[in-house]
Amino acid sequence: MESPANPYPLLDSLAAPQQIRHFTPEQLGQLAAEVRAFIIASVSETGGHFSSNLGTVELTVALFHHFDFLQDRIVWDVGHQAYPHKLLTGRKDRFPTLRQHHGLSGFLKRDESPYDHFGAGHASTSISAVLGMAKARDLQKQDHACIAVIGDGSMTAGMAFEGLNQAGYLETKNFLVILNDNDMSINPNVGSLQGYLNQIMSGQYYQRWRDRIEHAIKAIPLEGLSKGVAKAAKWSEESIKRLMVPGLLFEDLGFRYIGPVNGHDLNATSKALAEAKEKMKDGPVLLHVQTKKGYGYEPAVQDPLKWHGVTAFDAESGEIIKVQGDPAKPAPPSYTSVFGKALVDLARRDEKIVGITAAMLDGTGLNLLQKAFPDRCFDVGIAEQHAVTFAAGLAAQGMRPVCAIYSTFLQRGFDQVAHDVCIQDLPVTFALDRAGIVGADGPTHHGLYDLAYLRCLPNLILMAPKDENELRRMLLTALYCGHPAALRYPRGNGLGVTLEEPITALPVGKGELLREGTDLLLCALGAMVEPARRIAEVLAGEGISCAVINARFVKPLDGALIHAWAGRCKAVVTLEEGCAPGGFSGAVAESLADAGLVKPLLRCAVADHLIHHGDPRRLLEEEGLSPEALEGRIRNFFRDI
């Protein structure tokens, strides 16, 4: 009988996940219940990705029952399905450190566990990665299984189908793709593929009928028939199968399809995996598993979007624990909400303005545009490459598209930004939320590279606002500048400045002098402008005179303003929340060199290394980019020149 002192006796008894191979059905059920209970209890204290992980509990337990993942290979597409995997592979004791500084990663990391075979953060990579592993296995004369678990919206991306296409063509054996079909990514799934999956789900007799058809066809003694009759029999088999199931997309791609299976029925899931394990010997298999985000925790089932990623909450009541602020001083609006509202206001004035996002309606603030103008807001699913070229097509026909995509995710569409937008000089606006160090999701999600990877592109105007009012002005500027334009802004709340009405555009390529000075020129961008202004005030009290420029534009850079004040000062300091190689500081250094201005230069940016997960304030401190760290660095720099 379960002891009240230890609600996880079976989970705690696991010395190694290989023990699960020998569990009885009753033990498997108990283990799944313990894993789900632990996730609820643990994430309620630490926060983290929640509803997706509750949806994969039974599937994960069944996988460890049938496979040994020290030998076999598994890749979980998008890491926020993998908390059960982490729990079953010896990391339970580290869950109190989940997503915290130097703690357990919220995603899969190859250097965290020998059971994490491939890192996951962005979506739709699993099939290609596992196919690569399978071919490496074959070339090395090995025979272990290779498994990709995809879903949670990831099947909307073209890369997933590129992997399926090659795997089917190669007739890869011991290769299994598990489609975790939960009708969701973060926002509800979109597109015709989701409709196709729904048709399969409604065709619940598919497996039974296919087996009957195949049995009947195989009972025909084809060797005794003429070639024409035999060919007709084979044609009949394929035709009847297509009558029974719409499309047979996966079988046409070369996969043997199994499903759909209730992913929360352990016995059914286990039986389907056993069948897949046998059929994998002859070629690639796709197992279609239907799950529910949040399964086993009713508040998350009712609102899987709200519970996709959560802060700490009361597990019993389901109430999110909110950080108490000063009730007399309301928090400023977030950059995301300011952007969303400004876009709606501008769209009311101009019917050519449309919004595009890649499965991030709420995260980017485009949900506001969707509510106001549903026919002018497009969620393309997890398909950033398509989103960018779709926007280019709109722009080519006179529309004013705004692509709202997180900074880290636009990396996936870099070629399309270069080839389809910039080379053709099409007026697409890119609104890059979550720029800079974002915290708990770690290196796959920090928006550190946008300045570097966009600054090199022709025709593109690149800017970053110092506050939420300037964000609105930059949005208007981007929409009507007549060229591709990108504005990048941080996660979180603004500064609480007045939002001016009406919104006015900025002169393209013109920075802003905030303070005059003679000792140091502090040339700052975006979120670093306010710290630079405050540091200048502090240093002024110490007799160090600092000029402060809000650069606003990285491209075109206001060289005239920067050169003028660099010439009056003894040294230059650049401040940005982005990577140092190729970033804003590089643009300033190049401009000074081209002008023949040789000045001591301190570049305050993220060094050329990975930034792991943790509290953003602590990560900024470690990078020397917190206000306190910057003040010390700049003071010491001035004393040394």
Between the alpha carbon of residue 492 and those of residues 237, 258, 467, 624, the distances in Å are 58, 44, 11, 20
**What percentage of the chain's residues is helix, strand, coil (to nearest 5)?**
45, 15, 40
Beta carbons of 438 and 446 less than 8 angstroms apart: yes
Angle, helices 227-244/206-218, rounded to nearest 10 degrees: 170
Tokens of 297: 């925790």
Q: Specify which residues 288 forms β-bridges with.
A: 179
How big is the CA angle at 353 (ends 352 and 359), to the nearest 5 degrees? 135
Beta carbons of 533 and 548 less than 8 angstroms apart: yes
Q: What letter represents residue 332's amino acid?
A: P
Closest CA to 80 of 151, 148, 133, 11: 151
User: Of the listed 73, 91, 293, 491, which one is catalytic?
Assistant: 293
Closest CA to 125 of 88, 179, 85, 76: 76
User: Of the listed 34, 384, 468, 576, which one is catalytic?
Assistant: 384
Q: 412 catalytic, yes or no?
A: yes
User: Of the listed 412, 434, 466, 491, which one is catalytic?
Assistant: 412
How many CB atoms within 10 Å of residue 113? 17
Alpha-helix runs per DSSP H in 280-320: 298-302
Beta carbons of 433 and 491 less than 8 angstroms apart: yes
Terminal-residue alpha carbon distance, the chain: 73
- Cα 407 to chain centroid distance, Å, stands at 10
Angle, helices 25-46/266-279, rounded to nearest 10 degrees: 110
Q: Could you tell me which residues come within 8 angstroms of residue 608 by beta carbon, excluding any fewer than 6 positions away?
A: 579, 580, 581
Distance CA 94, CA 641 (A): 47
Distance CA 401, CA 479 (A): 8
Task: Just list the catalytic residues.
Answer: 293, 384, 412
